[in-house]
Amino acid sequence: MKISYLSTFYPFRGGIAQFNAALYRALIAKGHEVDPITFKRQYPNLLFPGKTQYVTSDDKADIIPSQQMVDSIDPFNWITSAKKIRKMSPDILLMKFWIPYFAPSFGHISKHQNPNTRSIAILDNVIPHERKFFDIPLIKYYLNRVNGFIVMSEQVRDELLSIKPDARFAYKQHPLYDHFGAPEDKTIARQKLGLSANKKTLLFFGFIRAYKGLDLLIEAMNKLDDSYQLIIAGESYSSFEPYQKQIDQNRFRNNIHPNVRYISDKEVPLFFSAADACVLPYKSATQSGITSIAYHFELPMIATNVGGLEEMVKDNETGVVVDKPNADNLATGIKRFFKIDQSHFADQIRAKKKELSWEGFAQSILDLYKTIE
The pTM assigned to this predicted structure is 0.83
Q: Decide: 61 and 265 in contact? Cβ < 8 Å.
A: yes
- For each of the domains in the chain, give its residue range(s) and CATH number, in order of start: 2-175+357-372 (3.40.50.11930), 186-355 (3.40.50.2000)
Average pLDDT per 10 consecutive residues for the chain, totaling 373 residues: 96 89 96 97 79 78 92 96 97 96 97 97 89 91 97 93 97 89 95 97 95 97 97 93 97 97 92 98 88 95 93 94 96 97 90 90 96 85
d(C-alpha 258, C-alpha 241), whole Å:
12
Other CB atoms within 10 A of residue 116 CB: 9
d(C-alpha 65, C-alpha 35), whole Å:
8
Q: Decide: 358 and 23 in contact? Cβ < 8 Å.
A: yes
63: nearest Cα among 25, 30, 102, 15: 25
Residue 296's contacts (CB-CB under 8 Å, 6 or more residues apart) are: 176, 177, 178, 180, 353
Please give the pLDDT value at position 252.
97
Please give the pLDDT value at position 15.
84
Please give the pLDDT value at position 265.
86
